[in-house]
Chains A and B, each alone.
Chain A
């Protein structure tokens, strides 16, 4: 049972570099989310997609862009990475009408 799959698991970037975090779910969920997790801050919502073809900003969208490529895939892009974006990133998905979120195992990103 794959569930929510995130790649890569670890990444180190230099300031100013760009990269895309990939997320795919095989549960036919409509809604997908990107969170970041920082020590003492809990999880904060970056962007979400309520359905294929739509995306919306969350609490902390600055410095990020997203693409809902199809129903399965929701990617997060850092165009010009900054040290403040060092964090653990989680993708999650949810079925319409169901309040349970399913999370991926996370991407640990360090920006030097």
Chain B
């Protein structure tokens, strides 16, 4: 079945450090891939997405590239800020099914000044 695996957290970084959060997936078809972010006390918000191989999603300085050959969609940011502290979820949507999202377990990021 379809699944998403994210790196275990929590991740603690200093401000302006480089961020990578690893995400790999298993899917039978050609899914769309997403990163959602959850700030403290809030619901999830879409951060970025990619719908086909080699697509790069980007938003707010975050980037992720859809790598079909390694079934990966790693999230990166060159210089994190304290305001980036949140929980990040990788997700996929398999077009062949009902199209419901399958989420990873989430990675908590804490950025210290």
Contacts and interface: CB of A to CB of B under 8 A. Distances in A.
Question: Do A and B interact with each other, yes or no?
Answer: yes
Contacts of A104: 43
Q: How big is the B interface, by class? A: 20 to 34
- Centre residue among A99, A105, A106 by max chain B CB count within 10 A: A99
Nearest to A100: B46
A42 B104 contact: yes
B44 A48 contact: no
Interface stretch (B12-20, B63-71, B95-103): B95-103
A40 B106 CA distance: 8
Contacts of B45: 103
Contact of A45 (B42, B100, B104): B100
A99 B93 contact: yes
Contact of B43 (A41, A42, A48, A90): A90
A40 B34 CA distance: 19
Given A58-B100, A92-B44, A99-B49, 16 more contacts: A4-B43, A33-B100, A42-B89, A42-B103, A43-B89, A43-B103, A44-B103, A45-B100, A48-B98, A50-B98, A90-B43, A99-B32, A99-B34, A101-B36, A105-B42, A106-B43
Interface of A: 4, 33, 40-45, 48, 50, 56, 58, 90, 92, 99-101, 103-106
